[in-house]
Structure 1
């Protein structure tokens, strides 16, 4: 069953208020990943602990110079959109604005916060810049080419040296801006993939060897909109003795993944994770069912999310992409939204348990993190 079923909401004592910098720093003292919601929609910061066995020399060989020896966290920014509107096709067709203010106003502010979290209190000299010489944002992940995920005005605030990992259409779009030095197209991961490190790891050195970023795909399935980005990592990685990850010999508790699916993904598409011996730590999947009248299904919503979290075996289900943004343009008149709450999820999950012939029950924690909330993924 979903944890916290008797609670009226999904906000509990484990949630960190990011404005409390001391609490955020305390969370980063944990040996586990920390995830932070930077707006009320679908901009996230994933802070992975750098494996303790990674040596100074192995880190210095990376093209990403920000991963200096003293760094304890590798910071992954996901689908950043902070200020201003987002518009697809044309402003008259579809334009949206945030309703809830983001946690940070721009990329420079985020970088300054990351410096403070990593290095401690700001320097005593108020005239000295707090902006780091090299960005503490180690890479950016883009899930879709649509501007609420791939927001040019926000992205170009980043230094050119920050690597970007994006799905195919988004990667082509970002390359056309001629801003970033490194743009990597996400490789595919499916049931036929024997080892995520063989397929997902960027062997050019732009990203560390204990991290892989790709897209979950299903053979014969050409759907792109309802897909998922997979961020796989091995916190027990050793540069001198690489563990073999196969279906028959997968080291327990080492290969983990965050599955990010802002529009939703069918549960059957995620079954490959378990067969590959990967522990799904968290699934980011929305609650709201969003569609265009008589035309297209956009966000699959909570009822699909229950199937997806069960299939993935995720420890956490975290809601995403559910901000009811202020909309304008032609499409805004056709958008239909069915909202679901935690209580709705709990009731639907109970019904699913009752209907299961095998009697198996899913065991995961569901949370809704607002803008400015964070969580240690234990």
Structure 2
């Protein structure tokens, strides 16, 4: 398995079973939720150009929010590249009339299973299991609180805590304590951090956001944008 961090937030290029998948590409300067007066976030670091990326086999989108499902970025990819996501996200992307093949999780080239959060009406904290012949990856970009998580080889999740009042969504990124619990729960051999960029925010949401960052947990591997890691299960 190969993991290439494309930016300091949540965009990746993974190679699993020889299949190259770009995960959650967001390469525009900023992303807006609803309206820029409500929430706009800006990258602080240089972003890759879609035209400079290697040829890929699939795109995977984990969440409908614009820092994961970024229309301006995704429309730069060739329309013939198949895009994988759960059905609710595919419905959103289908309206763009761009991608020729939209693939639900059950039709992916290897097993992708969503573990939904235990809390009712929680639309943020899903985890995805990628299970391949080379090994298994659990991807939980905001963290997760759910039951039945299996043992995996690689855990990819956030160590950042991003908290909002309940009326703005509550705790979005669950932070280090929950990350450590998840790490112990799934007994991963490798823990890669993701979705931890210290972005600049503007708008109403930024006024109320409380953020806690760390890059010092001894059991976590922190990659910077452009870093690559080959991982072989022995």
* TM-score clears 0.5: yes
The answer to whether structure 1 residue 234 and structure 2 residue 88 are counterparts is no
Q: Which residue of 1 aligns with 2:115?
A: 216
Of 130, 138, 150, 1:273 maps to 150
Query: Deviations 1:132-165 (Å, cap 9, x if unpaired)?
Result: xxxx211111111000000011101111111111
Of 40, 51, 56, 1:108 maps to 51
The answer to whether structure 1 residue 334 and structure 2 residue 233 are counterparts is no
Please report how far the alpha carbon of residue 222 of structure 1 lies from its aligned counterpart in structure 2 after TM superposition.
Answer: 5.1
- What number of residue pairs does the alignment pair up? 230
Tell me the secondary structure at the aligned position of residue 185 of structure 2. helix
Aligned CA distance change for structure 1 residues 219 and 226 (closer, same or farther; 3 Å): closer
Are the aligned partners of 1:144 and 1:169 in contact in 2 as well (CA < 8 Å)? no
Please identify which structure carries the higher strand content: 2
Q: Which residue of 1 aligns with 2:160?
A: 288
The answer to whether structure 1 residue 375 and structure 2 residue 213 are counterparts is no
Are the aligned partners of 1:93 and 1:329 in contact in 2 as well (CA < 8 Å)? yes
Q: Which residue of 2 aligns with 1:42?
A: 10
Tell me the secondary structure at the aligned position of residue 78 of structure 2. coil
Distance in 2 separating the partners of 1:281 and 1:150: 26
Aligned CA distance change for structure 1 residues 294 and 219 (closer, same or farther; 3 Å): closer
Q: Which residue of 1 aligns with 2:29?
A: 84
Structure 1: runs of 5+ lacking an equivalent: 1-32, 50-72, 115-135, 187-199, 236-255, 275-279, 347-364
Matches within 5 A, 1:240-279: 256-266=135-145, 268-269=146-147, 271-274=148-151
Please identify which structure carries the higher helix content: 1
Q: What is the CA RMSD across the aligned residues, in angstroms?
A: 1.9
Query: Deviations 1:173-208 (Å, cap 9, x if unpaired)?
Result: 10111111111233xxxxxxxxxxxxx4x2xxxx53
Distance in 1 separating the partners of 2:144 and 2:201: 25
Tell me the secondary structure at the aligned position of residue 173 of structure 1. helix
Structure 2: runs of 5+ lacking an equivalent: none
Are the aligned partners of 2:116 and 2:125 in contact in 1 as well (CA < 8 Å)? no
Query: Deviations 1:192-242 (Å, cap 9, x if unpaired)?
Result: xxxxxxxx4x2xxxx53xx1223123688553311112222124xxxxxxx
TM-score (normalizing by structure 2): 0.91
Distance in 2 separating the partners of 1:366 and 1:377: 14
Larger Rg: 1
Distance in 1 separating the partners of 2:112 and 2:86: 10
